[in-house]
Homo-oligomer: A and B are copies of this chain.
Amino acid sequence: MLVDFDKAGGLLPAIAQDAKTGDVLMLAWMNREAFEETVRTRRAVYFSRSRNKLWRKGEESGNVQEVQEICLDCDTDTILLKVNQVGGAACHEGYKSCFFRKLEADELTVIAERVFDPKQVYKK
């Protein structure tokens, strides 16, 4: 197998990066099943640790990630996806990237603008 899923209890970190701009969008987790479905469908599928099941990114919001490229690191235990983020925002809080806050003088400062209003997208 090309990816070392035997490490770390079968869950590996997967980074999603905007294929065009290089922005790091998010980090989530993959088990073997999520990885294989991602490779097969060319859409990002993660494993949700909180819900303990496969998480087909965008299944609720429609903001799927179209996978352009899949890279592995030197230890084959971290996955890097270069993606086209449909809808322009990867974060459930409505930002393009989940990394929308910066640490500055011991405080977190928001450094991005919302792409969508989470209340409109996730009708709960």
Contacts and interface: CB of A to CB of B under 8 A. Distances in A.
Contacts of A103: 2, 39, 70-72
A91 interface: yes
Interface string A72-110: 111110101000000000011101001111110011100
A23 interface: yes
Interface of A: 2, 13, 15, 17, 21-24, 26-27, 39, 69-76, 78, 80, 91-93, 95, 98-103, 106-108, 111
11 contacts: A2-B106, A2-B107, A2-B108, A27-B78, A69-B102, A71-B101, A71-B111, A74-B92, A75-B98, A76-B108, A78-B99
